[in-house]
Amino acid sequence: MMRPMKYCQHCAGPITRQIPPGDDKPRDCCLQCDVVFYQNPNNIVGTLPVYEDRVLLCRRAIEPRLGKWTLPAGFMENGESTLEGAIRETAEEAGATVLAPDCQLYTLFNLPTINQVYLFFLTQLRSTDFNPGPESLEVALFREEDIPWDEIAFTVVRVSLEQYFRDRKQFLFPVRMFDLRYDEQRTLGVTLISHSHQKEW
Ligand SMILES: [Zn+2]
């Protein structure tokens, strides 16, 4: 989210919200240091881990959506790739080991209303060796008929799971990109923007 800064991170002086020369949007500026602090969308990366006919979900131990089920995902850190971040988050939240060659890019979500981009990799688990990390109450594998659809934490997770169970019938898993936008009633609309050529997996 765009939250105005209060103090300059270099000199701890006051931040001025203004449009810098040559720019067209208001930014957080320190006039003393003559620097502009740009805020850009955050990337959230995760996996959709599959073991035989089941998918792995984590029950959230933290807000927002405490107690709801989600795929392992979190904010990318500086210095890592999207896949490295997704593998790290899967280890942290689910205690599951995921190997890069077992992963493929699967769903990408643009959420311009809240300045986020979500990216999920489809991955095969090699074992049922997992356990909840500090951000998860429990971690479990679910068959399609057992997915707690009413207890899914986020729309991006629900849509990714729906795609997976649909694609699985054809054994084809194309990469899809969606836009998620809130309308005036605060209802979230999901629009498929593009999908890759069919990809066997
Ligand atoms: Zn400063």
Ligand 1 center–CA 9 separation, angstroms? 7
Q: For 58-90, b where at least 16 C-beta lie within 10 A, e where not — what string? A: bbbeeeeeeebbbbbbbebeeeeebbebbbbbb
What's the pLDDT at 1?
A: 46
Ligand 1 center–CA 25 separation, angstroms? 20
Cα–chain-centroid distance for residue 54? Answer: 21
Mean pLDDT of the chain: 94
Ligand 1 center–CA 18 separation, angstroms? 14
Neighbours of ion ligand 1 (CB under 5 A): 8, 10-11, 13, 30, 32-33
pLDDT by residue (tens digit) across 126-174? 999 999 999 999 999 999 999 999 999 999 999 999 999 999 999 999 9
Judged against a pLDDT cut of 60, whether residue 15 lies above it is answered with yes
Ligand 1 center–CA 112 separation, angstroms? 29
Judged against a pLDDT cut of 80, whether residue 188 lies above it is answered with yes
What's the pLDDT at 200?
A: 64
Ligand 1 center–CA 8 separation, angstroms? 5
**Alpha-carbon torsion, ordered 64, 67, 72, 73, to 10 deg:** 0
What's the pLDDT at 119?
A: 98
Judged against a pLDDT cut of 50, whether residue 53 lies above it is answered with yes
**pTM for the whole structure:** 0.89
Ligand 1 center–CA 96 separation, angstroms? 43
Tell me the percentage of the chain whose pLDDT exceeds 70.
96
Residue 88's closest CA among 63, 123, 61? 123
Ligand 1 center–CA 38 separation, angstroms? 14
Q: Which two tokens stand for residue 31?
A: 């006039």
Ligand 1 center–CA 36 separation, angstroms? 9
Domains of the chain, first to last: 1-39 (2.20.70.10), 42-195 (3.90.79.10)
